A and B are shown apart, each in its own frame.
Chain A
Amino acid sequence: MKERLIVIGNGMAGMRTVEELLKLAPDLYDITVFGEEPHGNYNRILLSPVLGGELSFEETLLHRPEWYAENGITLRSGTRVEKIDRRRRVVVAADGSETPYDRMLLATGSRPVILPVAGHGLPGVIGFRTIADVETMIDASQRFHHAVVIGGGLLGLEAAAGLLKHGMKVRVVHLAETLMERQLDETAGRMLQENLESRGVEFLMGAKTREIIGRKRVQGVVFEDGREVSADLVVMAAGVRPEKELARSADIHCDRGVVVDDTLQTFDPRIYAVGECVQHRRAIYGLVAPLFEQARVCANHLARLGFARYTGSITSTKLKVTGVDLFSAGDFTGNEHSEAIVFRDPARGVYKKLVLEDDHLRGAVLYGDTVDGSWYFELMRGGVDVSAFRDDLMFGRAHIGDTGHGGGTSTAEMADDAQVCDCNGVSKGDIVKAIRSQGLFTLEEVKKHTKAAASCGGCTGLVEQILAATVGGEYTHPDRKPLCACTDFSHDEVRHAIREQHLIDRESVMKGLDWRSPDGCPTCRPALNYYLLAAWPGEAVDDRQSRFVNERVHANIQKDRSYTVVPRLWGGVATPDELRAIADAADKYAVPLVKLTGGQRIDLVGVKKEQLPDIWGDLNNAGLVSGHAYGKALRTVKTCIGAQFCRFGTQDSIQMGIDLEKMTWGSWTPHKFKMAVSACPRNCAEATIKDFGVVGIEGAWELHVGGNGGTKVRVTDRLCRVETATEVLEYAGAFMQLYREEARYLERTAPWVERIGLTHIRTRVVDDAERRRELYERFLESQRYARHDPWAANRTPEQRLEFVPMQTLSMDAPTVIPAKAGSQ
């Protein structure tokens, strides 16, 4: 018999968990869902637009009753659970029925705080939490005139704006002197207040409610200072409290909420809890993004996979009042270690506050201009070291030259035919249309359906903003993006599992992590292959069919299906014999073009696939090996002439370059990896736009990391100065290994360094000698299996099959043409 899972609470967090669980283990449980509200699960966030008359309740339904039936779930809507009997393992519902369980999920959400003043129980006094509350408000607005909202926070202001639309006279009562005093300082709070006042909301600030008066129904509110206002409707929006009574009465450990660990388990191992009722590492969340993250982890454990962890979330909010732009995220109050940068422009109605701590952005509040909200949010969640652009931070992303990332407001103003994705020629209109007509919710879906952001990714930020603007509050920016559509796990989680569980082949990763498709897809396969090889050198077997064609045939595919062949010229140096061999090969195979590359190598362009093994053979005979000009691998080490000849040279850059290349060639890396060595600060080898750059100075070497000369130029960060060539090699190996172990597949060093911060690298590679040596040794160990010429390996009879047709036919009267000798 299947195990019985009972879910208490038919709300957003609970049902999201069930959905995730069904994806992972559709047949594990018999599921019963209890919900006090008489509906299927609806999108609570959208209650404000429902109140404002912009949406119907129907449009907010996430799961209709049919959905439960189709998935074999028993829905007991309109049924409150009164008691959990943990000894007998049954729950008792309000109708007296008893239902047994093997496991339970508590998702009871929270309850509005109703101030316990006299008269709080009168008809017409409500919270703002459920569709029933909204119906009460709309009904009251049709019969009465005066509304009072107690609480000037996000929820209260959204309620006030909605009631105003229904023609009520709305007064907002707030205890503090300014609105949203926790998020905004005085100036900003007043700016917001003035904006709302100009729309007709009246505010009573610094007002403490003493009593609610009325006979049959609420008639007025009286304050401590004796003031009195009339009211036919009182909405209490003075905060919410986790709904934990049910758990507490069953002696499940509670503090402010139901206490759970990183697996969302309560103190009773049979019982899990998610959502607003939960307290995790002292934090309680009141927004859906973190709750959905909890849901994902909880489902992983309910499905008995047992490895996902929830470690807390950073959250952001946006006030959903049309015409008011307000965004806040993270810890915007700060502490004694943090500092705040504030920007005010009351004339334009703009206020911004950024909270920084140790060169990291911890919180942000934006009013009037929220263009950079999502960028700041990304910087916070990514833990990006902002020291490099700290001074420009306040002026936004556009200011630091990061193209393609306007803001919510600017995307709203973009014309429909404005091109968003330059790679695939997708306009804003195309994207909006696809989102609307096909009901897209995630960046991945938009990429798939429109191809926007699917190539270079430069417009990802812009696409995300269009998505957010089009689907509104429902768009939740995934905290950890899944590796691809085949899995819910992120790059980091997959890597973690590969290392922890000692997985050495693709099949066991896909099986162990419940991949949705047996062979994966072109996104995850190369990534997994890399992670496996990087984690278990010598043990993991390279999966040829999971490599992009260039890495499979060790040449670069061209648009006419020919290939390019680039032999390695160590440090950019070639002997006349090597040049002759390259020229001879070019003649012998009638290579259409011989070209000097930007990386100081020679490119034989237009070689036919069938010719590859033979041309390699000739080059091999002259001592030349593959230059890996095609791989996510060590590419080239460029050098300048250096001290041997150059009148300014201080160091032997050529020898240094050759030594670096001999040590690192053949290694696979998350993305391509380029180096350069210059012998003086004139830097003719352009070392400061390389992944690892070396610049010789009198008696020492300057080491640089994280440069990039491609799509978006990034100058390196200076790592440190060392004195000997041996040290250069050790630091280079250690840095490369750190990158190999920690960066995500297809993440070049430049974005990686920006994501994790230079400090992270310095502490491991520079400050801690032992760690550096360990990294270096792991690098050398993995090089034992990597420093082999792939060209030679691909000339074995077995590998040669890849390069020849399996059969040659004449089509006139289909017959087999005998193979030429030697080509099978």
Chain B
Amino acid sequence: MSEWIEVGPLESIPQLGARVVATDQGDIAVFRTGDDQVFALDDACPHEGGPLSQGMVYGTRVACPLHNWSIELSTGEAVSPDEGCAGRHEVRVTNGRVAIRL
């Protein structure tokens, strides 16, 4: 089963930043890039589970706050030479409201 769930206004996520959607199965990080693209990943780094939502966003990547791996936001893949993948969720923005597909 999958559904689009609205999680809040785009404006509430800082540019080059992220907010968290808390769920009973762990947090989901929702990122907003400098040009207002939005991505959602499980908030757990493939390395040692660092909270990606707390990392620094640049381009379409985020640098994990714990050991500085870079993760590609569009795929959840760690940027080479690191390897691993954070779970990815579909997102869309309609009328300035962000929705995630679950």
Contacts and interface: CB of A to CB of B under 8 A. Distances in A.
Contact of B15 (A545, A548, A553, A816): A545
Interface in A785-812: 801-802, 805-812
Interface string A447-462: 0111100100000000
Contacts of B50: 559, 561
Given A450-B81, A544-B14, A809 B22 contact: yes
B63 A808 contact: no
B34 A519 contact: yes
Please indicate which of the listed interface residues B6, B14, B20 has the most CB atoms of chain A within 10 Å of its own CB: B20
A266 interface: no
Contacts of B59: 517-519
Contact of B57 (A545, A561, A812): A545
Given A517-B58, A517-B59, A545-B15, A811 B25 contact: yes
A189 interface: no
A525 to B, nearest CB: 7
A412 interface: no
Interface string A492-534: 0000000000000000000000000111111001000000000
A450 B82 CA distance: 9
B8 to A, nearest CB: 4
A549 interface: yes
Nearest to A814: B102
B21 A805 contact: yes
Contacts of A812: 24
Contact of A525 (B8, B22, B24, B56): B56
Nearest to B13: A806
Nearest to B82: A451
Contacts of B21: 805-809
A165 B13 CA distance: 68
B19 interface: yes
Interface in B67-83: 68, 70, 80-81
B57 A519 contact: yes
A557 interface: yes
B24 A811 contact: yes
A525 B17 CA distance: 13
B87 interface: no
Contacts of A548: 56, 65
Contacts, number: 100
Interface in A670-714: none
B56 A557 contact: no
Contact of B58 (A449, A521, A808, A815): A521
Contacts of B86: none
B8 A806 contact: yes
A279 interface: no
A803 to B, nearest CB: 10
A816 B5 contact: yes
Nearest to A520: B58
A815 B8 CA distance: 13
A544 B6 CA distance: 27
A432 to B, nearest CB: 15
B58 A557 contact: no
A545 B56 contact: yes
A807 B21 CA distance: 5
Contacts of A546: 16, 56
Between B27, B55, B65, B102, the greatest number of chain A beta carbons within 10 A of the residue's beta carbon is seen for B65
Interface residues of A, number: 35
A814 B66 contact: no
Contacts of B102: 809, 811, 814
Contact of A545 (B16, B65, B70, B81): B16
B22 A807 contact: yes
Contact of A557 (B13, B33, B54): B54
B41 interface: no
Nearest to A550: B65
A522 B23 contact: no
Given A525-B58, A548-B65, A811-B25, A451 B20 contact: no
A805 B14 contact: no
A346 B45 CA distance: 58
Contacts of A811: 23-25, 102
Contacts of A434: 81
A805 B20 contact: yes
A46 to B, nearest CB: 28
Contacts of A815: 5
B7 A545 contact: no
Contacts of A809: 5, 7, 21-24, 102
The 4 closest A-B pairs by CB, nearest first: A805-B22, A545-B16, A807-B7, A522-B63
28 contacts: A517-B58, A517-B59, A518-B34, A519-B34, A519-B59, A525-B56, A525-B58, A545-B14, A545-B16, A545-B56, A548-B65, A549-B54, A557-B51, A561-B51, A805-B19, A806-B30, A807-B7, A807-B8, A807-B21, A807-B22, A809-B5, A809-B21, A809-B23, A809-B102, A810-B23, A811-B25, A812-B24, A816-B5
Interface of B: 3, 5-8, 12-17, 19-25, 27, 30, 33-35, 48, 50-51, 54-59, 63, 65-66, 68, 70, 80-81, 102
Given A519-B59, A806-B12, A807-B22, 19 more contacts: A449-B81, A518-B35, A519-B58, A520-B58, A522-B55, A522-B58, A544-B17, A545-B16, A545-B17, A546-B16, A549-B55, A557-B51, A801-B12, A806-B19, A806-B30, A809-B23, A810-B24, A811-B25, A816-B6
